[in-house]
Amino acid sequence: MSGNQERTYLMIKPDGVQRGLVGEIIKRFEQKGFKLVALKFVQPTEEMLQKHYADLSGRPFFAGLVKYMASGPVVAMVWEGLNIVKTGRQMLGETNPADSKPGTIRGDFCIQVGRNIMHGSDSVESANKEIALWFKDEELVSWQPADKVWVYED
C-alpha cells in the first residue's frame, strides 16, 4: 500500500446474507471507489467468533452474539483505500440502526441493533488484528484497478 492507503475488515453478518444484501453492500463500496483485496464466504465457528469479539466478552450480550453469528454463513472482506476505516464506518451507519441516517447501509436496511447486518473495524489497529484473524497473508490480493487515476489524485 502506498501513501495513506489503509485496509479495513468488513463482515456481512448472517442476517445480511440471508436477506440477499451481499451484492448491494459490495456494490456500495465499489461505487465509492474502494478496492476489494480479499473475500470469503464462510460458516464461522463459535471459537473463531469468540476470538473476533473478545473485547466484548464481559458484556451480557456476548454469548447471544456469538451464538447468533454462528447461526449462518458470513461474508468476510478486506477493503483498501484512503481513510477506509473511518469512511467505511460512516457508510455502515450507527451500531443501532435506529440512530443511522438514510443513505447508510444500516439506515437503509436495518431496524434493530441485534440485526444490524454488518461488522466494520473501528480503528486501523483493530482492522489489522481482524484481518490477520480471518485471512492468511497469501489470501490478500495486491492489484491496481484501472480506474485508480479517476478515483485518486496523484
Angle at alpha carbon of residue 22, lines to 140 and 10, rounded to 5°: 45
Please state the residue numbers annotated as binding site: 13, 61, 89, 95, 106, 116
Residue 117 phi, psi dihedral angles, 5° rounding: 55, -15
Residue with cell 451481499: 22
Q: Write down the catalytic residue from 7, 35, 52, 119.
A: 119
Is 36 in contact with 26 (CB distance < 8 Å)?
A: yes
119 is catalytic: yes
Please state the residue numbers annotated as binding site for ATP: 13, 61, 89, 95, 106, 116
3-state secondary structure of 8: strand
Is 15 in contact with 117 (CB distance < 8 Å)?
A: yes
Q: Which residues are the active-site residues?
A: 119
